[in-house]
């Protein structure tokens, strides 16, 4: 990265529906989400992916490369990484939260089982440290290989360097590991998630100064 500030678009509340649509499209072939959301229709998928966007809008940053929302990136700080229920209600709204828990049925229980090891590892790997947690990154299939994902990651790194906070993330695809390594992320650990029996890579990027 050079010294020039990265210009990214901070999402607004009225953008969350489109952001959910973009993420649903971006993650349609992701191995973990493809399995967990296999019984969801497109409307449910879009609604599901709106949730982390709304959460990070309130407790962190949710952005896109431009107002056209070709892709979506969202992150928060370590104190909000686990999305506790009360904070979720504040960001999603009570009705949306109840709909998320009751309309998705068994998946909410599965989500807790699947991702609990990641939460445990994150707390162990970053024990005693403050950091930015990269919750989600997705680029619409028609917008890939045009630099939109790079722009979001560079915006995240700019905030990381400015705040002097490292960035922590997990990813479910080996190709993503190689991509993140190009941005200075280092692999901490690879684990297999329970229930879905699929791999997940845990990574961190330290600040340069």
Would you say residue 154 has pLDDT above 70?
yes
Report long-range pairs for 35-39 (Cβ below 8 Å, ≥24 apart): 35/196, 35/198, 36/107, 36/110, 36/111, 36/114, 36/196, 37/107
pLDDT score for 148: 98
Which pTM was predicted?
A: 0.89
pLDDT score for 92: 46
pLDDT score for 39: 84
| 149-119-159 Cα angle (round to 5) | 40
Would you say residue 94 has pLDDT above 70?
no
Residue with the bigger pLDDT between 102 and 178: it is 178
pLDDT score for 195: 87
pLDDT score for 111: 78
Would you say residue 166 has pLDDT above 80?
yes
Interval 8-36 mean pLDDT: 96
Burial zone of 42 (CB within 10 Å; 0-12 exposed, 13-18 middle, 19+ buried): exposed
pLDDT score for 84: 55
Cα gap 181→202, rounded to integer Å: 12
Would you say residue 109 has pLDDT above 90?
no
pLDDT score for 100: 53
- Mean of the per-residue pLDDT values of the chain: 88
pLDDT tens sequence across 111-130: 778 899 999 999 999 999 99
Cα gap 65→155, rounded to integer Å: 9
Would you say residue 17 has pLDDT above 90?
yes
Interval 136-154 mean pLDDT: 97
């Amino acid at each position: 990265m050079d010294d020039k500030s990265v210009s990214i678009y901070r999402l607004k509340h009225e953008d969350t529906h489109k952001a959910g649509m973009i993420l649903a499209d971006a993650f349609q072939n992701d191995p973990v989400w493809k399995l967990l959301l296999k019984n969801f229709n497109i409307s449910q998928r879009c609604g599901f992916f709106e949730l982390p966007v709304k959460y990070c809008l309130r407790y962190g940053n949710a952005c896109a490369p431009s107002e056209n929302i070709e892709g979506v990136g969202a992150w928060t700080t370590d104190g909000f990484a686990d999305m506790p229920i009360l904070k979720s209600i504040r960001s999603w709204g009570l009705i949306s939260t109840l709909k998320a828990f009751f309309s998705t049925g068994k998946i909410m229980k599965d989500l807790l089982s699947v991702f609990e090891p990641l939460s445990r590892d994150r707390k162990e790997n970053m024990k005693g440290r403050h950091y930015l947690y990269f919750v989600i990154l997705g680029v619409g299939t028609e917008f890939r290989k045009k630099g939109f994902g790079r722009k979001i990651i560079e915006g995240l790194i700019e905030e990381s360097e400015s705040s002097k906070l490292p960035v922590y993330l997990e990813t479910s695809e080996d190709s993503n590991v190689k991509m993140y390594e190009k941005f200075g992320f280092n692999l901490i650990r690879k684990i297999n998630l329970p229930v879905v029996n699929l791999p997940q890579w845990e990574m961190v990027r330290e600040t340069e100064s």
